[in-house]
Structure 1
């Protein structure tokens, strides 16, 4: 049986490092700096991001237990208008952060990570309006080697 993406990456520690590296890359990006440095950012943003990515990739439901469901994540990021260019930059920062953090370089693994982020950004971009437009009760998605498993 093939391991989950979470297991293949190395478990919890493997997701904290890219979350921290991604956050730093976004702060250094001239376009992403504003949304990543604005007041009101949760003080445990990096930890929560690591929990979210780990859960999506097959890890424990820590994000769901501690922070809410997928709807909560989408509502946090909704209402910012058209962020299509920022979405591309966000994914590019993630790809480089995966290198920074030393995630496995296996091409299938990296393709699965990238496709999950591209899907997530595309979904987030469907909610440019107020947070109230995000449907309630959405479960954190689960991603596998073959793509989206469940919502």
Structure 2
């Protein structure tokens, strides 16, 4: 997808959500990532728990879509960043799992046939590395996640503030 140039303005890029292909792309990415995590001999444990909701993949797709500039389906009906962080908090040192999660995400971009554009791939990798770091902050067993953290928004240039 080529960026448009508007008269008397700088180049305008679509959101990462639009560039990726919208909701179908994020559904494919979430499914591919989940499959990769299940296939990973170290990472598969959290993804095979008996209490894992069958809606995990659709929720993950909605979350990633919103983060990348898509509609706010996750935050309007499923939760906020605080809730997501609480689901992953207090597990102790899981830094190796974080690295494996990133590796699965990057490989899933290919599996889901998302655009191979180097800038897009760089932005997506930067996001997942940031997201893993954000989760790892709360990995200590006694971690307390603050309330009311909004779902982050990620752009071609990284985390959008405000």
State the TM-score, normalizing by the size of structure 1.
0.96
1:101, 1:131 → 2: CA distance? 37
- RMSD of aligned alpha carbons: 1.3
Aligned residues: 151
**1:32·1:89 contact (CA, 8 Å) conserved in 2?**
yes
Task: Point out the structure with the larger helix share.
Answer: 1
**2:93·2:140 contact (CA, 8 Å) conserved in 1?**
no
Cα distance, 1:118–1:41 mapped onto 2, change above 3 Å: same
**Equivalent residue runs for 1:1-151 within 5 Å:** 1-129=12-140, 133-150=144-161
**2:92·2:141 contact (CA, 8 Å) conserved in 1?**
no
In our comparison, the structure showing a higher alpha carbon Rg is 2
State the TM-score, normalizing by the size of structure 2.
0.90
| Structure 1 residue runs of 4 or more that deviate by more than 4 Å after TM superposition | none
**What runs of 5+ residues in structure 2 fail to find an aligned partner?**
1-11
Secondary structure, aligned partner of 2:159: strand
Deviation (angstroms), 1:66: 1.7
**What runs of 5+ residues in structure 1 fail to find an aligned partner?**
none
